[in-house]
Amino acid sequence: MGQQKQDGVVGNEECQLCRITYSIYSNFPPMPSAMALNAETGEWFPFDRLKSYSTGYEMAEALGYAWACDCRGRAFKRFNEQFEIRDSTGKRQAGVRYRIRVGSKVLAKGVTDAQGRTQRLSTDNAKQVSIEVAGS
């Protein structure tokens, strides 16, 4: 298998994760009915979409592990969390408005997805957060 050239990375050092990811997925044959899983969000997407990306970082981002990338001046986001909102019986709560705070600063806000999950937060250091939900 020959080394593939990634677009947009001339003169920039690539980490091993991005190089390997690109070398694997850029050489796959077309698979129109195959699906791939984003490990962070748990969402499925068409596998052939990976071949449309021009860098290993974009591919890793689509697959949900770009947080581990350590190249091109990207800050390493060691802390990477996603939360689930559940009611008192443990049932996941979809469509709930939330805010995630550190002290008085809002880090994220939105509405939980169909599985009751918030958006994923990535930070370079540990933080104690509080989660506020609408109506509480």
Phi-psi label, residue 56: left if phi above 0, alpha if psi -120 to 50, beta otherwise: alpha
- At 104, the pLDDT band (50, 70, 90 cuts) reads confident
Q: Which amino acid is at 32?
A: P
Model confidence pLDDT, tens digit, residues 12-56 = 567 899 999 999 999 999 999 999 998 877 889 999 999 899 989
Query: Nearest to residue 70, comparing CAs of 18, 123, 20?
Result: 18
What are the boundaries of each domain within the chain?
A: 1-76, 79-133
Beta bridge partners of residue 110, listed in sequence order: 98
For residue 10, give every residue at least 6 positions away whose Cβ sits within 8 Å of its Cβ, in sequence order, or none: none
Q: What is the pTM of this model?
A: 0.50
Give me the percent of the chain exceeding a pLDDT of 70. Answer: 82
Residue 69 pLDDT exceeds 90: no
**H or E stretch covering 26:** none
Retrieve residue 94's tokens.
Answer: 């979809």
Beta strands 130-133 and 97-102 are: antiparallel
Q: At what angle do helices 56-63 and 16-25 cross, to 10 degrees?
A: 80
